[in-house]
Amino acid sequence: MDVREDIKQLENEICLMRRELHQIPETGFNTKKTLDYIVDKLTTFGYDTFDFSLAKNSVVVQLKVNDAPTSIGFRSDMDALPLKEETNRSFASTSENSHACGHDGHMAALLGLCKYVMEHKEHIKKNITFIFQPAEEGPGGAKVMIENGLFTTYPMECIFGVHMMGEVDEGIIACRPGPMMARNGELFVDITGKGTHGATPHLGSDTIVAGSAFVSALQSISSRNINPLHSSVVTIGTFHAGSAENIVAETCKMKGTIRAFQDDTYELIKNRIQEIAEGIAKSYQVNIDARVVDYYFVVDNDKKLYQLLDTVLKDELLEIDPKMVAEDFSFYQRQVPGLFYYVGTRSKTYDQNLHSAKYDFDEKVLLHVIETNVRLLEGMDAYD
């Protein structure tokens, strides 16, 4: 059986599904149109049992080929970004949202796999669970689905996921064993001082000066508190204070992000933020409320699954460096062995990166994803 040639027959349909999904981008858990589209396609492929109970506008469907309690999982995210598209394509988004992170491609590729394995059901040796998950961009649909019983309802041997990647050449599968994407949290800082006239600063407590000192001190965490061999990021992205040129600002607000590849490094960053906040508050006679909201864990690829990927791709796999971006696929990997990989989309025509309003890709890369997933099934003796 020529898997590649069989998958090639799906090219036009995969392309159409991607473009139709591209036109209806929805954010967070508000993915009802997207869900309806997915269920309609799955129904035409022959699936008839759908589980909508695990998260708002999510769906889980299985291909059952035996009575074994376990399955192999494949997940796609569904949500888009609140970003107006600027691709000028004929199938561009019809709303103020856009699939600038490639999730339309993830869905089309997983739908393609759903169709392929249904059409070749006689060759499938293990049960397969397909997960269509909303809210990857936030607040995190994976965590909700797990909390609502994903792995108790559908026990899995392992789980696979994929992401488009504009920094990798078109069609190349890229991955690495162990930590590949960072753990992340968002930092929210509120500083309260005492306002006064700009000509009498000694009568107030200046939150701009205190805030500036706080931002500067944060930079010492990665450079002086963290092991130089352990990468980390502490970034302040917004800083808002003041209302007039002659008023000492009474309040200051800022937001930022923290990232690390080790849990102990991440926790150390959080602790140092609090210690710095206490010290700056005392030094500048202000109150500082610094809160870190934990988001996603490290995407930590199972080494045996990575070796499987390397074996089935036969030297076509690109091993890449870790990236400081984050993904809620990491929640699945805290429960079962998981592998998350990239498919490259970069070419002379498609040279924009993810989260760009101009991001786009050639749909033929999705065939590489489907073939890779079929090869993984072969390698696990789940497909012959």
pLDDT tens digits for 132-169? 999 999 999 999 999 999 999 999 999 999 999 999 99
Examine the fold and report which residue of 266, 294, 322 is the final residue of a domain before the chain moves on. Answer: 294
Residue 384 lies in a domain: no
Residues 70 and 143 in one domain: yes
Structural domain of residue 53, as residue ranges? Answer: 3-181+298-379
User: For the chain, how many structural domains are there in total?
Assistant: 2
Average pLDDT over residues 174-199: 98
Residues 174 and 237 in one domain: no
Structure-token pair, residue 111: 């739908």
Structure-token pair, residue 54: 């695990």
Residue 274 lies in a domain: yes
DSSP 383: B
At a CB cut-off of 8 Å and minimum separation 6, what does 141 contact?
A: 29, 55, 58, 77, 78, 79, 133, 134, 135, 328
Residues 243 and 284 in one domain: yes
Secondary element (H or E) of residue 139: none
Q: How confident is the model at residue 183 (pLDDT cuts 50, 70, 90)?
A: very high
Instruction: Please determine, for residue 106, whether its predicted confidence score (pLDDT) is greater than 70.
Output: yes
**Amino acid identity for residue 57 in this structure:** N
Residue 237 lies in a domain: yes
pLDDT for 384 equals 64
Residues 231 and 358 in one domain: no
Cβ–Cβ < 8 Å for 335, 146: yes
Residues 177 and 188 in one domain: no
Residue 39 lies in a domain: yes
Average pLDDT over residues 209-232: 98
Average pLDDT over residues 321-338: 98
pLDDT in tens, 43-56: 999 999 999 999 99
Instruction: Please determine, for residue 5, whether its predicted confidence score (pLDDT) is greater than 80.
Output: yes
Average pLDDT over residues 253-276: 98
pLDDT in tens, 266-286: 999 999 999 999 999 999 999
Examine the fold and report which residue of 234, 261, 294 is the final residue of a domain before the chain moves on. Answer: 294
pLDDT in tens, 331-366: 999 999 999 999 999 999 999 999 999 999 999 999
Residues 13 and 120 in one domain: yes
Helix (H/G/I), strand (E/B), else coil: 245: coil
pLDDT for 2 equals 84
Residues 190 and 165 in one domain: no
**What is the spatial distance between Cα 255 and Cα 290, in angstroms, rounded to a whole number?**
10
Residues 158 and 17 in one domain: yes
**What is the spatial distance between Cα 70 and Cα 67, in angstroms, rounded to a whole number?**
9
CATH number of the domain encompassing residue 197: 3.30.70.360
In whole numbers, what is the pLDDT of the chain averaged over residues? 98
Instruction: Please determine, for residue 32, whether its predicted confidence score (pLDDT) is greater than 80.
Output: yes
CATH number of the domain encompassing residue 165: 3.40.630.10
Beta strands in 193-273 (DSSP E): 196-197, 232-241, 247-248, 251-260
Residue 247 lies in a domain: yes
- 137: annotated active-site residue: yes
**What is the spatial distance between Cα 264 and Cα 261, in angstroms, rounded to a whole number?**
9
Residue 62 lies in a domain: yes
Examine the fold and report which residue of 272, 294, 316 is the final residue of a domain before the chain moves on. Answer: 294
Residues 315 and 189 in one domain: no
- 77: annotated active-site residue: yes
The residue from 104, 137, 328, 371 that is catalytic is 137
At a CB cut-off of 8 Å and minimum separation 6, what does 93 contact?
A: 22, 23, 24, 25, 80, 84, 85, 99
Give percent above pLDDT 90 in the chain: 97
Cβ–Cβ < 8 Å for 35, 59: yes
Average pLDDT over residues 207-220: 99
Instruction: Please determine, for residue 190, whether its predicted confidence score (pLDDT) is greater than 70.
Output: yes
Q: How confident is the model at residue 173 (pLDDT cuts 50, 70, 90)?
A: very high
